[in-house]
Every structure is written in structure tokens, then in C-alpha cells.
């Protein structure tokens, strides 16, 4: 009798193949990455670092981790790499612990402006254990460097984050460097979203201008879920002890044994990222995002589109996410700068092109997909979020039921399934 888990995995595989995955932080890994993730390496405990383990029997594990480190250093052009962080948020905690003491000031882009939770957002460790100061975007949705400089001079942060999670524009690392130097702060780039674009030459590299880099491995890098911490030459010059500080913050500070199957899968994805074909892939991501954004009436300089839905009504993020999911298109609701509704009931959606591009889709396909998105959004016009907070929960439940029964959405879903099913999704079966 087949395990229920494997039946559910098959169900999810069908959803992924016959739908359009458009959440910009999601991607499809290769068959080789999947093989490494499902390998016997998960059986081994390896607390510590290569040549410095707390357990025996790690000769082969040391070779794998050292190989992953060497690949990361080569790919990014940095002297030091750590490949053990479990994921992006733990990696950001490791970095913050390494360079700051509890109560020190950290600065990052606010959540509502497209920043990440771990860069100082309310309820995150980065604001619970540290004094968090948030900078913002202006009316043009771009980072307000005048405000950033003023806040930095006033609060003298120990650490300045430059990184985003819902920001469709390129980042100017040199401007951040200038401000960090004014106050003596560590400058840390969280380039999780745009690492693939950096490798492909589509986005400027932070390496010459920052002290430390954190990247997840599972977004545009197209690897397994994990993270890499990199130290630049500039970072080593600023603090010669920074590597040992980061290692202590990693273990015993925040983690135990590394996930060796994950480390191996990261190494496989780094091998793939060093191939010429990866650069073509990264270029195509940006081309696709540009066309998709134009078709939807907005702009993108990266892989990501932040779409305001205020033209469709008030607080339309939930409704759009529900409707698009019924049509076989996966996005996520998201706040927009100057959010008119609420962070919990946002007015926009966040979507992107990495996963679509991994499946081989090109610009002409983005035109088709934008057409479906616009048709779907017409189905929510008038389904405004109630202004009275106590009515919202019932409204959203009823709206979800209504959209599930919508005949136009069912029709679009069939079109999407017919289209998406023609494009491959990697597996190990």
C-alpha cells in the first residue's frame, strides 16, 4: 500500500506542472538537485566545520562541504563562504549576532516598503533583541536615500541591511556604502531574491561595496532551500575576526548539525550556476519580468513585479490571490508603499518570473499570462474589503466560496492547465 505522503506529493506535482507558479521567491530545481536532497547524506551528523567536527566519520562530508565552499567563493569572487545556514532568516540572525550586541541599532528597509522581516520588522528577532530603525521608499516606490542618510546620522546603526523582498527596482550599493561609511556601520547585502540576476550580470554585484553578503539558495539561484553567508575582502579588512565571529554565531550560537543533503544540493546548484547557460537563464528572467510588467501596466527592473490593485477596489490583495489561485495562477497578496488598507489586508499582489523561466517560457508567453491575469482581476472588481474590521473575516470566507464557483475562473483554469502542461517540470521519478 502506497504511503499517503507519496500520494500527496503526486498531487502537489500535478499542481505544479499544470499551474503557473509566479511567487517570485519560488523556483524549480533540477533533477540533480533533487537527487542530492534525497540522498543518504541526511543520515549523518556533522556538527562543527570541515576538519573540526564533534563527531567521527565525517571525511566524505568534509569533502562535500569544502567543495561547496570553494564553488561559492569562485562564483561570487569572495575569500570566505559559509554554506551551513539552514535558511535565510537563520542566516540573518547569525550575521546580526556576529556583528552586534543585544540592544545595538540595526537599520533596514521597512516591511511595507518591500523590506524583509529580519531587517528590523516588528515582532522579528531583529526588533525584539536589537533597536530597529526602518527606512522607507518615496512616492516613486524607490528607496529614499535622503531619509536613509538622515536616519543613519541620527541613530548611528551598527549594521545597515541592504536587501528587499518586494521591491521591483535595482539597488545602488555604492549609495549605501557611502552612508555606511559616514557612521561606521557594517553594510550587509541580503541579495536572496536577486542572486541569480547578479550571477547572470543582469544586476550589479554587491561584492565591491559591502562587508557581508547573505543569499538564500532557493530563489533565482535555483537551488535547494538553504542559505550562504559570504565575507568580502572589504569585510575582512574591516574586521579580521569576522569569520570566527560568524562561525561562533552559527554553532553553537543558533544551529546544531548542518543538513548535509542540503549542503550537497547547494553544491550541485552552484555547479549549475557556473555554466554559461545560467547567464542566459538570468537574462531571460529579467526580459520576461519586463514584458509581464509592461503588459500589467507597471514596471520591473528585476525578476519581481509589485502590482497595486487600487484601481479594482479597496483592499483587494486577498481577493486577487484567491481568484488567481482558482484560475491556476499562484501569487501572493502583498502590501504596497503607502498601503491604503492594512498590512493584514493588503492592496497588492507580488509576482515574478523565475519559475516560469525555469520551465522555458519566453516573452510571448508572458503576454498570454498577463492576459489571463487581467481577465481574472476583472472578476474581483467590486469585491471591496469592508471598511469595518469585524466584517472582514466573514467577507473573505464568503468571497473565497464565491470565487470557487465562478464560471469564468473555471474557464481560465482550463486554458492555463492546457498551456502549462506543455512545459516541463524536473523530477527524479
* CATH code of the domain containing 322: 3.90.1150.10
- Of 111, 52, 95, 121, nearest to 228 by C-alpha is 95
Question: What is the mean pLDDT, run by run of 10 residues, along the chain of 429 residues?
Answer: 86 96 97 96 97 96 98 98 97 98 97 94 93 97 98 98 97 98 98 97 97 97 97 98 98 96 98 97 98 98 98 97 98 96 94 98 98 98 94 95 97 98 83
User: Residue 235 corresponds to which cell in the numbers above?
Assistant: 569585510
- The runs of H, that is alpha helices, within 125-232 are 125-128, 145-155, 173-183, 195-199
Q: Is residue 8 part of a domain?
A: no
Q: Which of 18, 44, 45, 156 is catalytic?
A: 45
Euclidean distance between CA atoms 19 and 47, whole angstroms: 40
Question: Does the annotation mark 318 as catalytic?
Answer: no
DSSP designation for 386: P
Please report where in the chains the cell 543520515 appears, as a residue: 43
Q: Is residue 114 part of a domain?
A: yes
φ/ψ of 100, rounded to 5, equals -125, 155
Q: Same structural domain for residues 206 and 85?
A: yes
Q: Same structural domain for residues 302 and 387?
A: yes
Question: Does the annotation mark 339 as catalytic?
Answer: no
What is the separation, in whole angstroms, between the first and last Cα of the chain? Answer: 18
pLDDT given for residue 429 in this prediction: 52
Q: Same structural domain for residues 102 and 214?
A: yes
Euclidean distance between CA atoms 142 and 120, whole angstroms: 19
Q: Which of 190, 211, 272, 325 is catalytic?
A: 190
Q: Is residue 1 part of a domain?
A: no
Q: Is residue 9 part of a domain?
A: no
Strands 159-163 and 105-109: parallel
Q: Same structural domain for residues 187 and 240?
A: yes
Q: Same structural domain for residues 269 and 280?
A: no
| C-alpha dist (Å) from residue 296 to 92, 288, 371, 383, 411 | 34, 12, 8, 20, 21
pLDDT given for residue 426 in this prediction: 82
pLDDT given for residue 343 in this prediction: 87
Q: Is residue 323 part of a domain?
A: yes
Q: Which of 105, 118, 165, 216 is catalytic?
A: 216
The SS3 assignment for 84 reads coil
Domain total of the chain = 2
Residue count of the chain: 429
Q: Same structural domain for residues 294 and 367?
A: yes
DSSP designation for 385: P
Which of 273, 290, 324 finishes a domain? Answer: 273
Q: Which of 53, 158, 177, 219 is catalytic?
A: 219
User: Residue 391 corresponds to which cell in the numbers above?
Assistant: 466584517
CA Rg value for the chain? 22
Contacts 24+ apart (CB under 8 A), 272-278: 272/30, 272/32, 272/33, 272/222, 273/75, 273/196, 273/199, 273/221, 273/222, 273/223, 274/71, 274/74, 274/75, 278/196, 278/199, 278/200, 278/222
CATH code of the domain covering residue 59: 3.40.640.10
φ/ψ of 348, rounded to 5, equals -145, 180
Q: Which of 131, 156, 175, 225 is catalytic?
A: 225
Q: Is residue 390 part of a domain?
A: yes
φ/ψ of 306, rounded to 5, equals -110, 110
pLDDT given for residue 377 in this prediction: 98
Containing structural domain, residue 143:
31-273
Question: Does the annotation mark 190 as catalytic?
Answer: yes
CB 187 within 8 A of CB 180: yes
pLDDT given for residue 427 in this prediction: 74
- The residues that bridge with 351 in the sheet, in sequence order, are 305
Q: Same structural domain for residues 237 and 323?
A: no
Q: Same structural domain for residues 198 and 326?
A: no
Give the H/E segment covering residue 75: helix 59-76
Q: Is residue 17 part of a domain?
A: no
φ/ψ of 277, rounded to 5, equals -65, -25
Question: Does the annotation mark 353 as catalytic?
Answer: no
The residues near 65 (Cβ < 8 Å, ≥ 6 apart) are 46, 49, 50, 83, 84, 258, 260, 263
- The runs of H, that is alpha helices, within 307-406 are 317-326, 354-358, 363-378, 392-404
pTM: 0.95
Q: Is residue 426 part of a domain?
A: no
CB 75 within 8 A of CB 199: yes
Express each pLDDT in 270-296 by its tens digit.
999 999 999 999 999 999 999 999 999
Euclidean distance between CA atoms 384 and 314, whole angstroms: 5
Which of 273, 298, 331 finishes a domain? Answer: 273
Q: Same structural domain for residues 190 and 267?
A: yes
Q: Same structural domain for residues 66 and 204?
A: yes
Q: In what order do the strands lie in the sheet with 332-334?
A: 304-308, 348-352, 332-334
Question: Does the annotation mark 17 as catalytic?
Answer: no
Q: Which of 32, 35, 44, 47 is catalytic?
A: 47
Give the H/E segment covering residue 160: strand 159-163
Give 8's Cβ-side CA count (13 Å radius). Answer: 3
Q: Same structural domain for residues 141 and 284?
A: no
Which of 273, 295, 313 finishes a domain? Answer: 273
Q: Same structural domain for residues 181 and 306?
A: no
Amino acid at each position: 500500500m502506497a504511503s499517503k505522503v507519496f500520494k500527496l506529493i503526486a498531487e502537489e506535482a500535478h499542481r505544479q506542472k499544470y499551474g503557473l507558479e509566479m511567487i517570485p521567491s519560488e523556483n524549480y530545481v533540477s533533477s540533480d538537485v533533487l537527487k542530492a536532497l534525497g540522498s543518504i547524506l541526511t543520515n549523518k551528523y556533522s556538527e562543527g566545520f570541515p576538519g573540526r567536527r564533534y563527531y567521527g566519520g565525517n571525511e566524505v562530508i568534509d569533502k562535500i562541504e569544502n567543495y561547496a565552499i570553494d564553488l561559492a567563493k569562485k562564483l561570487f569572487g569572495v575569500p570566505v563562504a559559509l554554506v551551513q545556514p539552514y535558511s535565510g532568516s537563520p542566516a540573518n540572525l547569525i550575521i546580526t549576532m556576529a556583528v552586534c550586541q543585544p540592544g545595538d541599532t540595526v537599520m533596514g528597509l521597512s516591511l511595507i516598503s518591500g523590506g524583509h522581516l529580519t531587517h528590523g520588522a516588528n515582532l522579528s528577532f531583529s526588533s525584539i533583541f536589537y533597536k530597529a530603525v526602518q527606512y522607507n521608499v518615496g512616492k516613486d516606490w524607490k528607496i529614499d536615500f535622503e531619509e536613509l542618510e538622515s536616519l543613519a546620522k541620527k541613530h548611528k546603526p551598527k549594521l545597515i541591511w541592504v536587501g528587499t523582498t518586494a521591491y521591483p527596482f535595482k539597488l545602488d550599493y555604492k549609495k549605501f556604502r557611502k552612508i555606511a561609511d559616514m557612521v561606521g556601520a557594517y553594510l550587509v547585502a541580503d541579495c536572496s531574491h536577486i542572486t541569480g540576476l547578479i550571477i547572470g550580470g543582469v544586476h550589479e554585484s554587491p561584492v565591491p561595496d559591502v562587508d557581508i553578503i547573505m543569499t538564500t539558495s532557493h530563489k533565482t539561484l535555483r537551488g535547494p532551500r538553504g542559505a550562504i553567508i559570504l565575507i568580502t575582502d572589504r569585510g575582512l579588512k574591516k574586521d579580521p575576526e569576522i569569520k570566527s565571529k560568524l562561525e561562533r554565531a552559527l554553532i553553537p550560537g543558533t544551529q546544531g548539525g548542518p543538513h548535509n543533503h542540503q549542503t550537497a544540493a547547494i553544491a550541485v546548484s552552484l555547479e549549475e550556476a557556473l555554466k554559461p547557460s545560467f547567464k542566459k537563464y538570468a537574462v531571460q528572467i529579467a526580459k520576461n519580468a519586463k514584458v509581464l510588467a509592461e503588459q500589467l501596466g507597471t514596471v520591473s527592473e528585476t525578476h519581481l513585479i509589485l502590482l497595486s490593485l487600487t484601481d479594482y477596489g479597496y483592499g483587494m490583495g486577498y481577493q486577487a490571490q484567491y481568484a488567481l489561485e482558482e484560475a491556476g495562477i499562484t501569487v501572493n497578496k502583498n502590501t504596497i508603499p503607502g498601503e491604503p488598507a492594512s498590512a493584514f489586508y493588503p492592496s497588492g499582489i507580488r509576482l515574478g518570473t523565475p519559475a516560469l523561466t525555469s520551465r522555458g517560457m519566453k516573452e510571448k508567453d508572458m503576454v498570454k499570462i498577463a492576459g489571463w491575469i487581467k481577465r481574472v482581476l476583472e472578476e474581483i472588481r467590486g469585491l471591496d474589503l469592508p471598511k469595518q474590521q469585524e466584517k472582514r473575516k466573514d467577507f473573505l470566507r464568503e468571497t473565497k466560496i464565491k470565487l470557487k464557483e465562478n464560471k469564468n475562473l473555471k474557464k481560465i483554469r482550463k486554458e492555463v492547465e492546457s498551456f502549462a502542461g506543455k512545459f516541463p517540470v524536473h523530477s527524479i521519478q
